[in-house]
Structure 1
Amino acid sequence: MTERHLATLAKADFPDFEPGSVWLVGSGPGGPGLLTLLAWHALGRADVIVHDALVSPDVMALAPDHVTRIHAGKRGGKPSPKQADITIRLIELARQGRRVLRLKGGDPFMFGRGGEEAAALADAGIPFRIVPGISAGLGGLAYAGLPVTHRDTNHAVIFVTGHDETGAVPSAVDWPAVARAAPVIVLFMAVKHLPVIAARLIEAGRIPDEAVTIVSNVARPGQIALETTLGTVGSLIDVPTPAIVVIGPVARYRTTLDWYVDEVRRHVFG
Structure 2
Amino acid sequence: DLISPEILELARREAKRMLVGKRGGRTSCRQEDINRMMLGLARAGKRVVRLKSGDPSVFGRSGEEITALREAGIPVSVIPGVTAASALAAGATTSLTHRDCAQSVRFVTGHSKKGALPEDIDWRAIADPTTTTMFYMGGRTAGEIATRLIAEGLSPETPVLIASNISRPDERRWHGTLASLGRGMAEIGHDNPVLFGVGRVFAKTVAVSDRQALLPRYLKEVRPLPATVYNNSR
Q: TM-score range by the shorter chain?
A: 0.7 to 0.9
In 1, Cα distance between equivalents of 2:203 and 2:177: 13
CA–CA distance in structure 2, aligned partners of residues 205 and 197 of structure 1: 13
For residue 29 of structure 2, the aligned residue among 68, 72, 81 is 81
Amino acid at match of 1:244: L
The secondary structure found in structure 1 opposite 2:205 is helix
Aligned-partner Cα distance in 2 for 1:182–1:73: 36
Number of residue equivalences: 215
| CA–CA separation in structure 1 for the residues paired with 2:77 and 2:141 | 34
Contact 2:169 2:212 in 1 (8 A): no
Tell me the equivalent position of 2:99: 151
Report which of the two has the higher share of helix.
1
Q: Which whole-Å CA distance do the structure 2 matches of 1:140 and 1:117 have between them?
A: 27
Map of 2:135 onto structure 1:
187
- Equivalence for 1:98: 46
Q: TM-score, normalised by structure 1?
A: 0.74
* Residue 213 of structure 2: aligned partner: 261
> Partner residue of 1:12?
none
Q: 1:1-270 alignment to 2 at 5 Å?
A: 53-180=1-128, 182-236=130-184, 237-240=186-189, 241-255=192-206, 261-263=213-215, 267=220
Superposed CA offset, 1:79-100 (max 9, x none) = 1000011011111000000000
* Superposition deviation, residue 252 in structure 1: 2.8
What secondary structure, in the 3-state scheme, does the structure 1 residue paired with 2:128 have? helix
Q: 1:149 to 1:259 in 2, by over 3 A?
A: farther
Asked whether the equivalents of residues 143 and 260 of structure 1 are also in contact (C-alpha less than 8 Å), the reply is no
| CA RMSD after TM alignment | 2.2
* Cα deviation, residue 181, structure 1: 7.9
Worse-superposed segment, 124-133 or 230-239: 230-239
Describe the superposition over 1:9-57 as per-residue Cα deviations: whole angstroms up to 9, x where unpaired. Answer: xxxxxxxxxxxxxxxxxxxxxxxxxxxxxxxxxxxxxxxxxxxx22222
Q: Is the 8 A contact 2:173 2:188 kept in 1?
A: no
Aligned to 2:226: none
- Is there any run of 5+ residues in structure 1 with no aligned partner, and where? 1-52
Misfit runs of 4+, over 3 Å? 258-261, 264-268
C-alpha deviations, 1:111-166, integer Å up to 9, x for none? Answer: 10111110111111111111111111124421122221111211211110101111
Distance 2:123 2:4 in 1: 32
For residues 247 and 214 of structure 1, what CA distance do their matches in structure 2 show? 9
Residues 182 and 167 of structure 1, relative CA distance in 2, 3 Å threshold: farther
- Greater RCO structure (CA 8 Å; 6+ sep): 1
Give the Cα separation in 2 of the matches to 1:63 and 1:175: 43
C-alpha distance in structure 2 between counterparts of 1:82 and 1:221, whole Å: 30
What's the TM-score, normalizing by structure 2?
0.85
Structure 2: which 5+ runs fail to align? 222-234
CA distance in 2, matches of 1:61, 1:255: 32
Aligned to 1:27: none
Percent of residue pairs bearing the same amino acid type = 39
